[in-house]
Amino acid sequence: MTEFPILTMLVLVPAIGSLLVAAISKRQPDLVKIIALLTSVLTGAMALWVLFAFKSEDADFQFVSNHSWIDQWGISWHLGVDGISLFLVVLTGVLFPLVIAGVDPHHDHKRYLSWMLMLEAGVMGSFISLDLFLFFVFFEIVLVPMYFLIGGWGYDNRVYAATKFFLFTMVGSAFMLVGIIATAVLAKAGENGAVTFDLIKIAENADFASSTGRWLFFAFAIAFAVKVPLFPLHTWLPDAHTQAPTGGSVILAGVLLKMGTYGLLRFGVYLFPEAAVWARPLFLTLATIGIIWGAIAATMQTDLKRLVAYSSVAHLGFIVLGTFALTTTAITGSVFQNVAHGLSTGALFLMVGMIYERRHTREIAKLKGLQKVAPVFAGVFMVIMLASIGVPGLNGFVGEFMVLIGSFATARWWVVVAAMGVILAALYMLWAYQRVFHGEPDDDNKTFAELKWKEGVLLLPFVALIVFSGVFPKPILNRIQPSVDKLIEHVEANSDWQQPQPADPVVVEPEAHDATEEGEG
Amino acid sequence: MGALFAAATLQGPKIDWFGISPLLVLLGGAMVLLVVGALTPAWPKRMYALYTAGVAVAAGVMHVLLWHRIDDKGTATLVSDALSLDKTGVWLGLTICVAVFLVAFLTDDYLRREGLDGLELYVLYMLSALGGLVMVAANDLVVLFLGLEILSIALYVMAASHRKRIKSQESGLKYFVLGGFSSAFFLYGIALVYGGAGSTNFTKIVAEFDTTIQNTGNDALVLAGIALLLVGLAFKVAAVPFHFWSPDVYEGAPTPVTAFMASAGKAAAFGAMLRVLEALPQWSADYRPIVWTLGVLTLVGGAVMAVVQRNVKRMLAFSSISHAGFILVGVEAAVHFDGANLDSDGVSSVLVYLLVYAVLVMGTFGVVTAVGRTGDAATGLDGFRGLAKQKPMLALGMTVLLLAQAGVPLTSGFVAKFGVITAAVEVRSYAIAIIAMVSAVIAAFLYLRIMISMWIAEPEAGDDAREPVRVPLLLGVAIALSVSFTLVVGFFPDVLLTIAP
Contact A167 B445 (CB under 8 A): yes
pLDDT at residue B328, rounded to an integer:
94
pLDDT at residue A210, rounded to an integer:
79
CB-nearest partner of B410 from A73, A141, A148: A141
CB-nearest partner of B422 from A71, A174, A181: A181
Share above pLDDT 90 across residues of chain A, in percent, rounded to a whole number: 31
Say yes or no to pLDDT of A303 above 60.
yes
Q: What is the DSSP string of B278-298?
A: HT-GGGHHHHHHHHHHHHHHH
Residue A342 CA: distances (Å) to CA of A236, A252, B6: 19, 9, 92
Cis peptide before A229 (omega within 30 of 0): yes
Cis peptide before A105 (omega within 30 of 0): no
Residue B373 φ/ψ, nearest 5 degrees:
60, 175
Size of interface A-B (CB pairs under 8 A): 79
What is the C-alpha to C-alpha distance for residues B475 and B468, in angstroms, rounded to an integer? 16
CB-nearest partner of A137 from B409, B426, B456: B409
pLDDT at residue B53, rounded to an integer:
95
pLDDT at residue B4, rounded to an integer:
54
What is the C-alpha to C-alpha distance for residues A291 and B406, in angstroms, rounded to an integer? 35
Positive or negative: CA dihedral A246, A247, A253, A259: negative
What is the C-alpha to C-alpha distance for residues A174 and A187, in angstroms, rounded to an integer? 20
- Residue A519 binned pLDDT confidence (cut-offs 50, 70, 90): very low
Q: Residue A107: list chain B partners with CB under 8 A.
A: none
Q: Which of residues 438-477 of B touch A (CB under 8 A)?
A: 438, 440-441, 444-445, 448, 452, 455-456
Q: Residue A177: list chain B partners with CB under 8 A.
A: 418, 421, 437
Span A48-62, average pLDDT: 87
What is the C-alpha to C-alpha distance for residues A224 and A221, in angstroms, rounded to an integer? 5
Residues 6+ apart with CB under 8 A from B131: B146, B147, B148, B149, B150, B151, B152, B154, B268
pLDDT at residue B270, rounded to an integer:
95
Select from B329, B410, B450, B454 the residue whose CB has the most chain A CBs within 10 Å, as the one to mutate to test that interface.
Answer: B410
CB-nearest partner of B497 from A72, A136, A178: A72
Q: Residue A144: list chain B partners with CB under 8 A.
A: 403, 408
Residue A352 CA: distances (Å) to CA of A95, A146, A345, B485: 17, 20, 10, 44
pLDDT at residue B5, rounded to an integer:
55
Contact A170 B452 (CB under 8 A): no
What is the C-alpha to C-alpha distance for residues A447 and A359, in angstroms, rounded to an integer? 9
Reduced to 3 states (helix: H, G, I; strand: E, B; else coil), residue A363 is strand
Q: Residue A70: list chain B partners with CB under 8 A.
A: 492-494, 497
What is the C-alpha to C-alpha distance for residues B5 and A450, in angstroms, rounded to an integer? 111
What is the C-alpha to C-alpha distance for residues B433 and B349, in angstroms, rounded to an integer? 13
Evaluate whether B103 touches B155 at the Cβ level (below 8 Å): no
Evaluate whether B384 touches B310 at the Cβ level (below 8 Å): no
pLDDT at residue B32, rounded to an integer:
94
Evaluate whether B111 touches B121 at the Cβ level (below 8 Å): yes
Say yes or no to pLDDT of A207 above 90.
no
Residue A331 CA: distances (Å) to CA of A116, A156, B100: 30, 39, 58
pLDDT at residue A347, rounded to an integer:
92
pLDDT at residue A32, rounded to an integer:
86
pLDDT at residue B7, rounded to an integer:
55
Could you say which residues of chain B have pLDDT below 70?
1-10, 213-215, 217
Q: What is the pLDDT of residues B63-102, one digit of tens each?
A: 999 999 988 888 888 887 889 888 999 999 999 999 999 9
What is the C-alpha to C-alpha distance for residues A472 and B319, in angstroms, rounded to an integer? 56
CB-nearest partner of A163 from B445, B497, B498: B445
pLDDT at residue A320, rounded to an integer:
92
Note the ipTM here.
0.86
Task: Give which of A301, A315, A318 is closest to A431, Cα–Cα.
Answer: A301
Where residue B96 falls (left for φ over 0; alpha for ψ -120 to 50; beta otherwise) is alpha
Say yes or no to pLDDT of A289 above 90.
yes
Span A300-319, average pLDDT: 90
Evaluate whether B238 touches B247 at the Cβ level (below 8 Å): no
Neighbours of B43 (CB within 10 A): 16
Evaluate whether B80 touches B14 at the Cβ level (below 8 Å): yes
Reduced to 3 states (helix: H, G, I; strand: E, B; else coil), residue B308 is coil
Measured CA angle at B53 (ends B51, B58), to 5 deg: 95
- Give the residue on B whose Cα is nearest the Cα of A185: B426
Positive or negative: CA dihedral B157, B162, B164, B167: negative
Select from B299, B430, B439, B491 the residue whose CB has the most chain A CBs within 10 Å, as the one to mutate to test that interface.
Answer: B430
What is the C-alpha to C-alpha distance for residues A427 and B358, in angstroms, rounded to an integer? 59
Say yes or no to pLDDT of A189 above 80.
no
- Give the residue on A whose Cα is nearest the Cα of B407: A140
Q: How far off is chain A from B439, nearest CA to CA, in Å? A: 9
CB of B421 within 8 Å of a chain A CB? The answer is yes
Evaluate whether B26 touches B137 at the Cβ level (below 8 Å): no
pTM of the complete model beyond 0.80: yes
Contact B456 A152 (CB under 8 A): yes
Q: Residue A71: list chain B partners with CB under 8 A.
A: 494, 498
Lowest mean per-residue pLDDT among A95-109, A317-331, B143-157: A95-109
Q: How far off is chain A from B241, nearest CA to CA, in Å? A: 25
What is the C-alpha to C-alpha distance for residues A268 and A262, in angstroms, rounded to an integer? 9
Q: How far off is chain A from B421, nearest CA to CA, in Å? A: 7
Q: Residue A141: list chain B partners with CB under 8 A.
A: 408-410
- Residue A188 binned pLDDT confidence (cut-offs 50, 70, 90): confident
Which residues from A are below 8 Å from B when comparing CB atoms? 69-73, 136-138, 140-141, 143-144, 147-148, 151-152, 158-159, 163, 166-167, 170-171, 174-175, 177-178, 181-182, 185
Q: What is the pLDDT of residues A411-424, one digit of tens each?
A: 888 999 998 888 88
CB of B146 within 8 Å of a chain A CB? The answer is no
For β-strands A75-81 and A62-70, DSSP reports them as antiparallel
Residue A54 φ/ψ, nearest 5 degrees:
-65, 130
Lowest mean per-residue pLDDT among A200-214, A265-279, A378-392, A407-421: A200-214
Q: How far off is chain A from B496, nearest CA to CA, in Å? A: 10
pLDDT at residue A297, rounded to an integer:
92
Helix (H) or strand (E) holding A63: strand A62-70
What is the C-alpha to C-alpha distance for residues A76 and A398, in angstroms, rounded to an integer? 37
* 3-state helix/strand/coil string of A461-500: HHHHHHHHHHHCCHHHHHHHHHHHHHHHHHHHHHCCCCCC
Contact B497 A70 (CB under 8 A): yes
- Residue A511 binned pLDDT confidence (cut-offs 50, 70, 90): very low
What is the C-alpha to C-alpha distance for residues B307 and B304, in angstroms, rounded to an integer? 6
Contact A140 B408 (CB under 8 A): yes
Neighbours of A401 (CB within 10 A): 18
